[in-house]
Amino acid sequence: MSKKPETKAPSKAEEKAGAKAAAKAAGKAAEKAAEKPAAPAAAAKEEEGAEAGRKGWLTAAVVPQEEWKGFKYRGFTFEDISKMSMEEFIKLLPARQRRSLMRGLKPEHRKFLEKIRRARKLMAEGKKVNLKTHTRDMIILPEMVGLTIAVYNGITYLPITISPWHIGHYLGEFAITSKIVQHGEPGLKATRSTLHIASK
């Protein structure tokens, strides 16, 4: 007859190890559950990172609406320009912009213009709208005045508040693609070649 294998009772050390493993598993499950509602916190951190990325870039000055009264473009006030048809407005522009618009808008420009018009309707209802674009070669039209448009400069989106003085320019002119290089004392804001002071 074959002998039955003897079953040993678990020792106290093994019981303690099992209890520790169960406690660890419960702790990990609690951590995972706590991580799930932390999505808004992650979004806030991402926004902080974007804000930090915007620091140090040159941006166009914001012209307050009180100063818009003195604006004139080729002898026309902003009210006159905003009432003009597109054909009449195009005639006022410099040759490069005039030729570009007379050929018609590019598909990406047309899409962005539609987005602006939708944003205007939403803003009239009291909703907040973020306008972002990569179309740096878009010519600023009178219907864009008063909006804040975030223009991509190759690294981040720089917010530009459009005023009447921007009309006829390109969006890319106001989203500078390079920062000002500042050199200070050796080691501070310095390049690799100026890290050390010469002994002589």
pLDDT tens sequence across 141-196: 999 999 999 999 998 999 999 999 999 999 999 998 888 776 656 555 555 665 55
Q: Select the more confidently predicted residue: 193 or 72.
A: 72
User: pLDDT value at position 197?
Assistant: 58
* Selection from 162, 116, 114 nearest residue 140 by Cα: 162
Which pLDDT tens digit goes with each residue over 19-67? Answer: 666 666 666 655 555 554 445 666 666 666 555 555 677 777 788 877 8
pLDDT of residue 38: 47
Residues 200 and 197: their CA atoms lie apart, in Å, by 9
Place of tokens 């009210």: 79
Per-residue tokens: 179: 């920062």
Phi, psi of 107 (to 5 degrees): -55, -40
Decide if pLDDT at 18 tops 80: no
In this prediction, residue 65 carries a pLDDT of 79
pLDDT score, position 88: 94
Q: What is the pTM of this model?
A: 0.63
pLDDT score for 40: 60
Q: What's the topology of domain 65-174?
A: 30s Ribosomal Protein S19; Chain A (3.30.860)
**CA distance linking residue 67 with residue 43, whole number of Å:** 37
* φ/ψ of residue 18, rounded to 5: -65, -40
Inform me whether the pLDDT recorded for 198 exceeds 90.
no
The confidence score (pLDDT) of residue 60 equals: 73
Interacting residues of 36 by C-beta distance below 8 A, sequence separation 6+: none
Strands, sheet with 131-133, edge to edge from the N-terminal-most edge strand: 131-133, 148-152, 157-161
